[in-house]
A and B are shown apart, each in its own frame.
Chain A
């Protein structure tokens, strides 16, 4: 199709049937990183089971249909896979031209959330109701468009061969580009996503080859920003409570510390092999809030045990490991930065999400990539996977 692939096998270009083109040794499909795709699909399939287990008894949420969340989750997965295909088909290079538009559109959606059109859930105005029971979480898209936007700016001069590293002016532009949506997300306020954004920016700057001063400066700025937010009391009480509960899990187990406490009991009680799917008493008893979304890992911990939990971490590791390889092997800085951004995103979000259920991170409302229920997150994650695949597919193949 529109790939830049060409055969080195000596046959030369020739007309092939559509099927032939798809299945040829040098075709895009053949050259997809199937290990990564299968790992991602594995995560999503396990996720479907976990979401199902967490919601089949939740008559208060599932409108009496035990499969309500399962079907929607699987639908999201299929749409996500389709979006990945479309992304690969378009290709990250072609998308490069559309980045300013995508960036603008996502930030606009983010701003729209802050208007009365946005819906508030759990103290966050982070959703756009689309009607028909569908809703959108623009922050998930913003994560990706910021990666693309920053990559576009930072790589422009380097990929053109003008400079070895992005200059200060470019870095500043890129940071400014990231700052706007970060502020928007902060206003929601979706603190978890802000944290992910900051880590993404850090990952992008690292991969861009920007001066060490920028990297260190960003770290210092992030830390002092956190202190400032705390000191100025910009946090809502529930956010302060989450940190307090993190610092001292025994604190008020029925109130502030309830989530973390119950989550830890759920996971801890799973033991090595778990209680079996649908058999977790913490899960069926609905002791853990937000269990199909932010706390989905507790279902795995309780019902599938250490083996199931470790499998999820392993699969995430496979996805990220392969992404690292793609980043290292890509031929342009643009692709490298995009890959690094996605790595920072997936890795930190996974660490934060699982870490909070294990009590080593404070609670923040973030979905577990591929696994958690939630359409927007699912779409964004698979689109990001599509970008990685596109980078791999469009890299000149070595013999």
Chain B
């Protein structure tokens, strides 16, 4: 436009028009720049925020897999309960926020409308329980104890109950077949914690705040396998929480089932016998403390020798595993974890510690042979033994003359092992230990697996302790200050011991080694360790990891995976010596300390060869611990009772009765194969049909058989 017509506008207006144009255009440029900043530079951040806006997760809990015994009988499964739930998003859409519906619901469920409303309100800082702590998009359970009648009413009048569902829902249950609680072995579930939810939030298997996970026992060891994976449905929702579409959905995968090697019938017998033995022990008088035995705790393990599979595992005091189901009350929890009830949650088979007493002598025997002593040599079983001015007596000061190691085991002669241990101690330098001390007795204990986990498939197994030189040193380091302080002004006997410990507690003294050789003193073992050792002697020397899990079965029943037994070591004993030890242990049952429970009590030793070792461990300030370790060709049975008395006295009848039940023997020794619960170890896995149902072989005649096993059983005796 070269020759603009005369506009009649002043110069001032023209300039201002240009200014307006510049101003206006810069405004638009500002918008463009800001748009670029938001969308292109920071776009990702907002995309995340937008995604968080719309997607809500609803988790469908997976059905937890069952735990079965070796015959397919469930020992932990799920019970269907009718759970009435309310959908908060549905209720909130109503004009009165669902008040009317909840009031109607309360009337049907025989609850107060207030309670129902409190249950479906959301928890926050100001809201006290009861309130719903989970996702507001998750149906909120109002009750899990609805009757069929109530559920039907709710379903039939669906138009009166929008947003309310009454669905059968799986709840964990421990059926305790044949009365076998198996409580500590099974463990328990408890609600997932906030931290665990947070941790699992972005994994494939996120938790629901109502989820429960295994806290102990098999429920914990096999938790991830039993739990399966929850289904997650991601819904796109609008700003009012209305569902607009299903973004992504993974179906819940039910957990696999676990077949265990537990035979519930043997388990029931074991639990019952342990309890009876403890009850009987409490009737016995303890001459040392001049009161009846307390028998405050006990444990028993039945294990297969060739596989390490655990057929039964009992721990007393016990508890009802169902007390955890549906949330445990504060009072119940206190009781389960309190001192007064002596901690029934502890599985004493793997967590109970005590000195082994004479059942340790198999280790001392092996150690003596390793140290160069002849198994068949001549050893003096005197009534007492002197070491450095200290007299160590034989049990009840009995003398058996000159015997070999086998006979020493049979009669449980302490003095023979005192002498062997003392001589080894001298060889290793005595009070001035050699740098490369052989320490056969301690090394052998380690080689037998003491002081170490057996690898049982249960959580929190304890290792026990072998009081070797290293331990002595460490222990002294940890305690010397306290000892030396106490020893400054020695008055009492305890003070004198403290003084001795203060001065020479780091040293392996002759008395320590002598005491150690018969399983007394600072040695601590668990029942499962002893079971592992004796089954190794029985199977030719292989230390097997004790296992309860035998196989896993996928929910559809198609994939069955056996859990193979694993060895974790070999006994450091040559075949010949092992055979001799085996013969000696049979001798214990035939003519030794356990003969009055087996050989002399009608046990069919010619048909079922019994091997045994008794033990009575002294505990400072407490009554003696009873140990009884036994085995046949196929099974090892170990029982221990804390403050229970002698090995064969307190535990003897119980162990005998367990064998009676397993083999179908009665108290007179008559063998009836039809009455046997488990004459041979269960080799087969339960059968599964095409629908994934696992066949459970219930034993209808169990009561009759179990009764026969214990009929006419003698009470506990004081000697052994």
| A residues with CB within 8 A of B | 158-159, 161, 164-165, 203, 206-209, 262, 264-272, 281-282, 284-287, 301-302, 305-306, 309-310, 313, 316-317, 320-321, 324, 327-333, 336, 340, 343-344, 347-348, 350-351, 354-355, 358-360, 395-396, 398
Residues B13 and A317 in contact, CB atoms below 8 Å apart: no
Distance between A337 CB and nearest chain B CB, rounded to angstroms: 9
Cα(A206)–Cα(B10), bound, Å: 12
Chain B 209-253, CB-CB to A under 8 Å as 1, else 0, gives 000000000000000000000000000111110001000000000
Contact of A206 among B1, B8, B19, B30 (CB under 8 A): B19
Complex interface: stretch among B32-40, B154-162, B365-373, B706-714: B32-40
Cα(A182)–Cα(B42), bound, Å: 39
Distance between A237 CB and nearest chain B CB, rounded to angstroms: 23
Residues of A within 8 A of B38 (CB): 264, 267-268, 301, 358-359
Query: Chain A: which residue is nearest B7 at the CB level?
Result: A331
Distance between B37 CB and nearest chain A CB, rounded to angstroms: 9
Residues B47 and A268 in contact, CB atoms below 8 Å apart: yes
Residues B7 and A330 in contact, CB atoms below 8 Å apart: yes
Distance between A203 CB and nearest chain B CB, rounded to angstroms: 6
Residues of B within 8 A of A265 (CB): 46, 49-50, 53
Nearest 3 CB-CB pairs, A to B? A268-B46, A269-B50, A271-B43
Cα(A206)–Cα(B20), bound, Å: 8
State whether A268 and B17 are in contact (beta carbons under 8 Å apart), knowing that A306-B39, A309-B39 are contacts in the complex: no
Residues of A within 8 A of B46 (CB): 264-265, 267-269
Query: Chain B: which residue is nearest A339 at the CB level?
Result: B17
Residues B16 and A347 in contact, CB atoms below 8 Å apart: no
Residues of A within 8 A of B7 (CB): 329-332, 336
Residues of A within 8 A of B34 (CB): 355, 358-360
Residues of B within 8 A of A354 (CB): 31, 35
Cα(A287)–Cα(B35), bound, Å: 20
Residues of B within 8 A of A359 (CB): 34, 38
The winner among B39, B40, B240 for most chain A CB atoms within 10 A is: B39
Distance between B301 CB and nearest chain A CB, rounded to angstroms: 60
Residues of B within 8 A of A271 (CB): 39-40, 43-44, 47
Residues of A within 8 A of B237 (CB): 285
Cα(A354)–Cα(B27), bound, Å: 11
| Interface residue B620 (Cβ < 8 Å from any Cβ of A) | no
Distance between B545 CB and nearest chain A CB, rounded to angstroms: 54
Cα(A63)–Cα(B40), bound, Å: 37
Contact of B39 among A158, A165, A270, A347 (CB under 8 A): A270
Cα(A158)–Cα(B9), bound, Å: 8
Cα(A343)–Cα(B45), bound, Å: 36
State whether A328 and B50 are in contact (beta carbons under 8 Å apart), knowing that A268-B43, A285-B237, A336-B9 are contacts in the complex: no
Contact of A284 among B8, B36, B244 (CB under 8 A): B244
Cα(A269)–Cα(B47), bound, Å: 4
Residues B53 and A282 in contact, CB atoms below 8 Å apart: yes
Chain B 1-29, CB-CB to A under 8 Å as 1, else 0, gives 10111111110111011111100110110
Residues A313 and B53 in contact, CB atoms below 8 Å apart: no
Distance between A321 CB and nearest chain B CB, rounded to angstroms: 7
Query: Chain A: which residue is nearest B18 at the CB level?
Result: A328
Residues A206 and B16 in contact, CB atoms below 8 Å apart: yes
Residues of A within 8 A of B10 (CB): 164-165, 209
Cα(A282)–Cα(B50), bound, Å: 7
Contact of A272 among B3, B12, B28, B40 (CB under 8 A): B40
* 29 contacts across the A-B interface (CB closer than 8 A): A207-B16, A207-B17, A209-B13, A265-B46, A265-B50, A267-B38, A267-B46, A268-B47, A269-B47, A281-B50, A281-B51, A281-B54, A287-B53, A301-B35, A310-B36, A313-B32, A320-B28, A327-B17, A327-B20, A332-B7, A333-B13, A344-B20, A350-B31, A354-B31, A355-B30, A358-B35, A358-B38, A360-B34, A398-B3
Distance between B55 CB and nearest chain A CB, rounded to angstroms: 9
Distance between B345 CB and nearest chain A CB, rounded to angstroms: 45
Cα(A102)–Cα(B25), bound, Å: 31
Cα(A77)–Cα(B1), bound, Å: 33
Residues of A within 8 A of B24 (CB): 320, 324, 343-344, 347
State whether A285 and B239 are in contact (beta carbons under 8 Å apart), knowing that A264-B46, A268-B47 are contacts in the complex: yes
Distance between B23 CB and nearest chain A CB, rounded to angstroms: 8
Cα(A332)–Cα(B7), bound, Å: 6
Residues B20 and A165 in contact, CB atoms below 8 Å apart: no
Residues B8 and A331 in contact, CB atoms below 8 Å apart: yes
Residues A266 and B50 in contact, CB atoms below 8 Å apart: yes
Cα(A343)–Cα(B21), bound, Å: 9
Q: Which of B290-337 contact A (CB under 8 A)?
A: none
Distance between A175 CB and nearest chain B CB, rounded to angstroms: 17
Cα(A217)–Cα(B251), bound, Å: 71
The winner among A159, A269, A330, A354 for most chain B CB atoms within 10 A is: A269
Residues of B within 8 A of A332 (CB): 7-8
Query: Chain A: which residue is nearest B247 at the CB level?
Result: A281
Residues of A within 8 A of B49 (CB): 265, 268-269
Residues B3 and A208 in contact, CB atoms below 8 Å apart: no
Cα(A167)–Cα(B27), bound, Å: 31
Cα(A381)–Cα(B652), bound, Å: 105
Cα(A398)–Cα(B6), bound, Å: 11
Cα(A7)–Cα(B484), bound, Å: 126
Residues of B within 8 A of A347 (CB): 24, 27-28
Residues A284 and B31 in contact, CB atoms below 8 Å apart: no
State whether A316 and B14 are in contact (beta carbons under 8 Å apart), knowing that A306-B39, A324-B20, A398-B3 are contacts in the complex: no
Residues B17 and A286 in contact, CB atoms below 8 Å apart: no
State whether A329 and B4 are in contact (beta carbons under 8 Å apart), knowing that A209-B16, A324-B20 are contacts in the complex: yes
Residues of A within 8 A of B238 (CB): 284-287
Residues of B within 8 A of A284 (CB): 238, 244
State whether A267 and B35 are in contact (beta carbons under 8 Å apart), knowing that A281-B236, A351-B27 are contacts in the complex: yes
Distance between B124 CB and nearest chain A CB, rounded to angstroms: 14
Residues B36 and A306 in contact, CB atoms below 8 Å apart: yes
Distance between B163 CB and nearest chain A CB, rounded to angstroms: 20
Distance between B314 CB and nearest chain A CB, rounded to angstroms: 57
Task: Apart from A209-B13, A286-B239, list 6 A-B contacts with CB within 8 A.
Answer: A209-B10, A267-B39, A285-B238, A305-B39, A324-B21, A358-B35
Residues of B within 8 A of A287 (CB): 53-54, 238-239
Query: Chain A: which residue is nearest B238 at the CB level?
Result: A285
Residues of A within 8 A of B236 (CB): 281, 285
Residues B35 and A313 in contact, CB atoms below 8 Å apart: yes
Cα(A74)–Cα(B620), bound, Å: 98
Cα(A161)–Cα(B3), bound, Å: 21
Contact of B32 among A310, A327, A333, A340 (CB under 8 A): A310
State whether A310 and B35 are in contact (beta carbons under 8 Å apart), knowing that A206-B19, A340-B20 are contacts in the complex: yes
Distance between A67 CB and nearest chain B CB, rounded to angstroms: 20
Residues of B within 8 A of A207 (CB): 13, 16-17, 20
Contact of A329 among B1, B16, B40, B44 (CB under 8 A): B1
Cα(A209)–Cα(B12), bound, Å: 6
Residues A313 and B16 in contact, CB atoms below 8 Å apart: no
Query: Chain A: which residue is nearest B240 at the CB level?
Result: A286
Q: Which of B38-76 contact A (CB under 8 A)?
A: 38-40, 42-47, 49-51, 53-54
Contact of A343 among B13, B20, B39, B244 (CB under 8 A): B20
The winner among A203, A313, A395 for most chain B CB atoms within 10 A is: A313
Residues B39 and A336 in contact, CB atoms below 8 Å apart: no
Residues A306 and B50 in contact, CB atoms below 8 Å apart: no
